[in-house]
Chain A
Amino acid sequence: MVKIALEWLASCAGCELSILDLHEELLDLLEHAEIVYAPILMDVKEIPDDIDIAIVSGSVRNEDNKERLQELREKSKTLIAYGTCACYGGITCMADLYSPEDLSARSFSDNKSTEPAEQPSEVVPELLPIVHPAGDLADIDYFLPGCPPKEGLIKDVLIPLIDGKVPEIPKKSVCADCHRQMDHVEFDKLKRRVVGDMDPEKCFLSQGYICLGSVTLGRCGAMCSAAGIPCHGCGGPSLDVLREPNHDVYNCLVNRIAHLSKMPHKDVEKQIYDKGHLVYGFVIGSTIMENKKVSLIPQLIKK
C-alpha cells in the first residue's frame, strides 16, 4: 500500500476538504493508499518516516511551518505542492502588500474592537518577515495549483500518481473552458464588478469587466464565469505566463484588454485600479512571478 501523508501549513483547510470532496470515491482511494499522517483527520502527532507521497498545502508563514515542510521533504519520496498557496503563495501572501509592523498593529494595537496590546510572543511560533509558497522553500516534485484543486483534477491526477503513473493533465487557460463569447468591443472604461448588468453570454473582458481567465490555468472548468463571476486567478498563472520570462499576469492582461477594447495600453493601465488584490492576489508571494523582468510585484510588496 502506498503511504500518504497530508500536511497543512498556513492555509484555510480548503485543500484538505477538496480531497474529502471525493466523497464516496474516497473509499476507493483508501483501497490503494494508506493515510499515515493527517492532523485534520487523525491523532498521529509526529511525521512518520518512509512516506511515499506527501501532499503539502498552504504557505510558509512561521518557523513551525518551515520546519514541518523541511521534515516532510526529508521523509517523503514524492512531495506534492497541493493548491495555489503551496505553489504560488495564494491569498495568504497578500500580507506582503503591507509591512509586518502595520499588519501587527491592525490586529493587536490599532484595532476597533481590541484593547491595545503587544503582539503575542510566548509559546507561539515566530513569524517570518514575509510569506512564502511552500514550493519556494523546498524541492517539490509536482505542483498542483487550484484554490483549492478541483475534484476532477484530484481524480485525474492524484489517483494516477498514487498508482505510480504519470498523469495526463490539462494545460489550457480558463478562457478555453469558458462558455462566454469573446468579442471585439470598443469601450473606453473598465467597469467595477458592482456596476451595471452583466450579460450572461458575453466575455467579461468584452463587457469591460476585469477577468483573469486568459492568464490563469484552467483546471477548474471556468466555474466562476459559469456562475456569473469573473475569474480572480485562483488557479495560478497559465502555462505561457509561467514559461515565458517576458510574460506576466499583469502585462498579459493589459495586452488582452487593449486588444479587445482598442484602448491604448496606457489607458488600460491607468484604469486597472488595484493591481495587488485584483491582479496579483494569488501569486504575489511567488519568487517565480516576482523575478520576471516585467513583473510589478517588486514595486507592490513592502518587505
Chain B
Amino acid sequence: MKQIEISPVTRIEGHAKITVQLDDSGNVSDAHFHVMEIRGFEKFLEGAAVEEAPRITPRICGVCQTAHHIASAKATDAVFGLKPPETAEKLRELMLLGQYVHSHSLHFYFLGAPDLVMGPDSDPAERNVLGIIKNNPDLAKMAIKTRAVGQHITSIIGGKPVHPVTAVPGGQSKGLDAEGRDKLLNDAKECVGLVEAGVEVAKPLFEEYADAIETLGPVETYFGGLTSGGKLGFYDGQMKVIDKEGSMVHEFESNDYLDYIEEKVQPWSYMKFPFLKQVGFPDGSYRVGPLARLNIVDEVPTEKAGALYGEYKDKFGMAQNPLLYHYARLIELMYSAERAVELLEDDAIVGEDIRQGVDSLMTRAEAKESNETLRGVGIIEAPRGSLIHDYETDGAGIIQRANLIVATGQNNLSMDIGVRETAKALIHGEEVSEGLKNRLEMIIRAYDPCLSCATHMINGESPLLVDIHDADGILVKRHVI
C-alpha cells in the first residue's frame, strides 16, 4: 500500500498534514486530515484566577485572539454575575468587528485568494501573497489597507493590536474618547469602500471557479451558530442549529451547550470532532463559520452586505460547498465594516460608564470552607464559527475546570470527509501533480482552519535531552541584544 503525504499543509494557521492511502490498483482507499499540534490550555487554566483567563486565552490563537479574549470575558462576567454597561458591550462588539476585519481579510487576500487569483496550478513559488504583491501591487495594497483597519480597531479599543487586554469581568478597562472615535470612524468608512472594491475583484473569480466550487470537498451537514432574532451578529444571541434542508432542529442558551454538543476523539488527529449529541456520530456532524452563519440567519442587517447576501442566497440557497466559505466570508467582511461604522456613529460608544466591578471576593481559605462553585459560559461567533469558553471556579473565582470548544474543531469532520471524497474522485495512481495536491489543500483552506486553536495537549515517552552547562547553574550561552 502506498501513501501520499502533503506536509505541512500551508497557508493555514497551525500545523497539519494530509495523507492519502492508495490500494494495490492505485485507487484511493482512505485519506485523512491530521492536526499535529496540541498545547493544553484547558488544563493549565486550572489554578488561575478567572480574571486572568481573558489575558491567557488570547494566546490560544494570535489570529482569532480577540474572539478568545471576548468569549473568555463573557464567561468571567457570568462567573461573577456581572452585567457590563451598554457602552462596554458596544466596545466589545466593536473590538470583535476589528477581529473580523483583520481575520477575514487576512484569510481571503493573504491565504485563500492566491489559489484563485494566481490559479490552483500556478507555480507554487508565486502562488501566495508575495506573488500577488509582485503581479498585482494594487490588489496587495488594498488587502494590506483593509486588514490594517481591523488591527487599528483592536489596538485602540483592545489596547494592543495582537492579544488585546481591555475586556475584563463586568466590562471594559478603558473607554473610547472622541478623538479615537473620529479616527476609527474615518477608518471604518474607508474600509467599507475597500471591501466594495475587493468584492468587485472577487465576484468574477467565483464565476470562473464555478466548477471547483461544485466539486471540491463535497459534504452535507447540519449547521450551527449564534443569531439574535434571525439576524447576523457576532457578539450575542442564541445558538441555533439547522439540518441539511435548513429546518431548525435546536435552539439553546449558552449555558446548556453540553446537552447538545459532544466531542469525539479519533486516533489520527489531536483535534477532536464535535457532533450533535442527539443525532450521534458521525451523522450529527455540523459546521460553523461564515457558510453556516449565512445559512442560519434570515437577514444580514446592513445595507451593502444585505444586498450581497440577497444575491448570494438567490444563487446558492442553502449552500453546502466549502469553497463558498470564501464568498460568505467576503459578505461578512462587508457586514463587519458597515456595522463598525454604525457602532462608531452611536454616541453610546463614547460613554463613560464602562465597568461593573465586584466589591469583595472570598479569600482562598474562605472558599475552601464554603465549598461553593461558580460557573460561567461565554459563547460568541469567532470568525471561524461558534466559540465556547466554560469555566468552573471555587467561591474565590479560582478556576477548577475549564472546557473550550473552538470553532475549527466543529468543522474537523467535514474537512476530513471533504479531503477523502475529493482524493477518491481525483487521484488514480501514484503520480499526483502539485496542482492536484494543492486542490486538496484548497478544501482545508476554504474553512480557514485555525489549528493553533486545537487547544488540548498530551505527553510523550521520549527521554529529555537538554544539556545545561554552567558553574552557577545559569545558562551562559544566551545573548540578549
Rank and list the top 3 A-B pairs by shortest CB-CB distance, nearest first.
Answer: A14-B62, A100-B459, A227-B159
Whether A128 contacts B464 by the Cβ 8 Å rule is yes
Task: Give which listed residue, B38, B49, B268, contacts A107 with CB less than 8 A.
Answer: B38
The interface on chain B, measured as residues whose beta carbon lies within 8 A of the other chain's beta carbons, has a size of: 120
A171 and chain B: residue at smallest CB distance: B480
Whether B124 contacts A43 by the Cβ 8 Å rule is yes
Task: Give which listed residue, B36, B162, B456, B474, contacts A288 with CB less than 8 A.
Answer: B474
Q: Point out the residues of chain B lying under 8 angstroms from A95, CB to CB.
A: 39-40, 43-44, 457
Whether B159 contacts A223 by the Cβ 8 Å rule is yes
Q: Point out the residues of chain B lying under 8 angstroms from A263, CB to CB.
A: none
In the docked arrangement, what's the CA distance between A107 and B264, Å?
A: 11
Taking the complex as formed, is B304 at the interface, i.e. its CB lies under 8 A from any CB of chain A? Answer: no
Whether A228 contacts B151 by the Cβ 8 Å rule is no
- Mark the stretch among B205-213, B331-339, B356-364, B418-426 that contacts chain A: B356-364
Q: Point out the residues of chain A lying under 8 angstroms from B6, CB to CB.
A: 45
In the docked arrangement, what's the CA distance between A287 and B475, Å?
A: 7
- Mark the stretch among A178-186, A193-201, A254-262 that contacts chain B: A193-201
Taking the complex as formed, is B221 at the interface, i.e. its CB lies under 8 A from any CB of chain A? Answer: no
In the docked arrangement, what's the CA distance between A246 and B178, Å?
A: 47
In the docked arrangement, what's the CA distance between A277 and B59, Å?
A: 13
Chain B, interface SS category: loop
Q: Point out the residues of chain B lying under 8 angstroms from A291, CB to CB.
A: 468, 470, 472-475
The minimal Cβ–Cβ distance linking A248 to chain B, given in whole angstroms, is 11
Q: Point out the residues of chain B lying under 8 angstroms from A112, CB to CB.
A: 258, 390, 401, 403
Whether A122 contacts B268 by the Cβ 8 Å rule is yes
The minimal Cβ–Cβ distance linking A282 to chain B, given in whole angstroms, is 9
Whether B473 contacts A194 by the Cβ 8 Å rule is no
Whether B268 contacts A40 by the Cβ 8 Å rule is no
Task: Give which listed residue, B17, B160, B357, B466, contacts A194 with CB less than 8 A.
Answer: B357
Taking the complex as formed, is A103 at the interface, i.e. its CB lies under 8 A from any CB of chain B? Answer: yes
Give A contacts to B, CB under 8 Å: 8, 10-18, 20-21, 23-24, 26-27, 30, 35, 39-45, 61-64, 90-92, 94-95, 97-104, 106-108, 111-115, 117-130, 132, 135-137, 139-144, 147-148, 151, 157, 166-167, 169, 192-198, 220, 223-224, 226-229, 232, 234, 239, 242, 245, 273-274, 276-278, 281, 287-288, 291-293
Give B contacts to A, CB under 8 Å: 6-8, 10-15, 17, 19, 32, 34-40, 42-44, 46-49, 51-52, 55-56, 58-63, 65, 76, 80, 106, 110-111, 124-125, 127-130, 133, 137, 140-141, 144-145, 147-148, 151, 158-163, 165-166, 168-170, 173-174, 257-258, 261-270, 272, 274, 357-361, 364, 390, 397-398, 401, 403, 405, 438, 441, 452, 455-462, 464, 466, 468, 470, 472-475, 477-481
Whether A127 contacts B144 by the Cβ 8 Å rule is no
